[in-house]
Amino acid sequence: MWGNLLLILIAYFIGNFSTSYFIGKLFAKIDIRDHGSGNAGSTNVLRTLGIKAAACTFLGDLFKGVLAVYLGNKFGGETLALACGISVVIGHNWPVLLRFKGGKGIATTIGVVLIIKPFVALICVSIGVVILYKYKYVSLASIVAISLLPFTIVIYGINYLLFGLILALLAIYRHRENIKRLLAGNERKIGEKSRVK
C-alpha cells in the first residue's frame, strides 16, 4: 500500500516538471507564465516562442505522462498505472513546486492514454486534429477530444470509465476560461502570435 502511494506521489512530482517553464528559460530567459495567455503549455509557447519551442514543450509534457504510467504499470500493475496517470496530470495542472500555476494537461493526458490504451488515444487525437483543422481552435479541439475519452475507453471496464471521466473533468475545468471565450466568440485561433513582454 505505502509503495503504491509513494509511486502516485512520484507521478505527481513528475507532473510538476514544467517543460514550458524550462523551455521559456532556455529559449528566451522568460517565465512563460508571465507572457501570452499565461498558461504553462505548448499552445502558449507556440504563440510566444515559436514552433520549435512548442514542439519541445509538447513532447516533454507527453513524455511525463508516458513515464508516470510506465512506472505505475511496472511496479504495481493496471490499477496503479491508472492512478499514476491521473496523478501526473494533476501534478502538471497544479504543480506545488511552481505555486500551483501549471498547464491544462492535454499533452500529458495524451502521453498517459497512449501507454494505457494506444488505440483510444489514436481515436481521440485523430478527432481532435480534424476539429483543429476545420475550426482552428486548439482549445475546442482539446475539449472535444478529451470529452470523448470516457466514451471510447468505457469498453475496457468501470475502472477505465472512472479514469476517463476524471481526466476529462480535469481538462474541461482547466479550459473553463477558453469555453467562455469560445461561447463569446473571442477565443484566439491557432497561428495568432503573442509578443514576449
To the question of pTM greater than 0.85 for the whole model, the response is yes
- Read off the pLDDT band of 120 (50, 70, 90): very high
Looking at the domain assignment, is residue 56 inside a domain? yes
pLDDT at 197: 54
In a domain, 194, yes or no: no
Find the mean pLDDT for residues 73-93: 97
Identity (one letter) of the amino acid at 114? L
In SS3 terms, 57-119 reads as HHHHHHHHHHHHHHHHHHHCCHHHHHHHHHHHHHHHHCCHHHCCCCCCCHHHHHHHHHHHCHH
Q: Is residue 196 situated within a structural domain?
A: no
Question: Which residues form the domain of 49?
Answer: 2-184
Question: Is residue 119 in a domain?
Answer: yes
pLDDT band at 69 (very low <50, low <70, confident <90, very high): very high
Number of domains the chain contains: 1
Angle CA(38)–CA(40)–CA(46) in degrees, nearest 5? 85
166 located within any domain = yes
Residue 190 falls inside a structural domain? no
Question: What Å distances lie between residue 79 and 72, 83, 162, 163, CA to CA?
Answer: 8, 6, 11, 10
Looking at residue 187, its pLDDT comes to 94
Domain-located, residue 189: no
**Is 191 domain-assigned?**
no
- pLDDT-derived band at 194 (thresholds 50, 70, 90) equals low
